Structure 1
Amino acid sequence: MSPASLSTAGVLLITVPAVAFGGISLLSFLMRNVPGYLDNPVRRGLWRAGHAHAGVLVLFSLVAMLYIDQADLSETLKSLARTTIVAAPILMPLGFFLSVARPADTKPNRLIWLTFAGGVSLAVGTLTLGIGLV
């Protein structure tokens, strides 16, 4: 692996305990019946989605780092793929969490657009990588 992919993978691995902490937090909300979580289906659903997307996308990004250095792409495009693929597990969960940050929020605020930005970022990165591998 290139030094850039190795350091990116290192940063991604450091985020795994944060995702696990998020899961423990959600579990504690369930077990302690925290107001604003169980009684707010919109917030509960978006926070669960945020946690799930964070976990899956971090793992996906780690796997993608193995392929980026094998792709027939310029260093600029490899850097673009690396950056955009890693941006997705940051942007998407942030959008889910921050769009209903207050316990009384019953609909997502404008920060839900971060989820779309994460989706676009993921699409750009995976398409770039896929083209480079074909």
Structure 2
Amino acid sequence: MPTPNDIILIGILLLALVTVESGGYFLTKVVRGNVPANRLQMSFFRAGHAHAAVLLVLSVAILAVISHAALDGFWLWLASAGVPVAAILMPAGFFLSATGRDPQRPNPFIWLLWAGVVVLTAALITAGVGLIAGGVAAL
């Protein structure tokens, strides 16, 4: 059973999906040529949009079951909040590193993507191990 804090965060994440939806509208404008974008920008905008949506939905799924994990303190926080944090960092890395007029390579904001990768990996490993341990303990 999710905690009240988890339920609040799930609500916030669902509302955040509305922003991803508006990003989809922006992408249709880019693809139709109504917003100028080069290949790098088109690729990074698509990747940022996709990562945001997938990671937000994954966050909801994890929060729905994380109360069954054998975790507490920092580890429970990482397992619960890590994927939502990655859902901010990774898309931000894609979008911000492709800003500017006709960029040919990602700019230094690409570090946000890699920070998100580290947080995502740590959160998924922690949640996975904690849920397995919680399941085994419940047998």
TM-score by length of 1: 0.92
Residue 106 of structure 2 corresponds to 108
Q: How many residues align?
A: 131
Can you give the 5+ residue segments of structure 2 that lack an aligned partner in the other structure? 133-139
Residue 62 of structure 1 corresponds to 60
Indicate the SS of the match to 2:32: helix
Contact 2:92 2:112 in 1 (8 A): yes
Counterparts of 1:10 and 1:69, CA distance in 2:
17
Percent identity over the alignment? Answer: 38
Contact 1:73 1:132 in 2 (8 A): yes
Residue 16 of structure 1 corresponds to 17
Q: Partner letter of residue 76 of structure 1?
A: F
Contact 1:80 1:125 in 2 (8 A): yes
**Per-residue CA distance 1:2-29 (angstroms, 9 max, x = gap):** 0121111111011011000001001012
Residue 29 of structure 1 corresponds to 30
Please identify runs of 4+ aligned residues in structure 1 that moved more than 4 A. none
Residue 118 of structure 1 corresponds to 116
Indicate the SS of the match to 1:69: helix
- Deviation at 1:81? 1.4
- Deviation at 1:103? 3.2
Contact 2:30 2:42 in 1 (8 A): no
Counterparts of 2:40 and 2:83, CA distance in 1:
27
- Deviation at 1:32? 4.0
Indicate the SS of the match to 2:98: coil
**RMSD, aligned CA:** 1.2
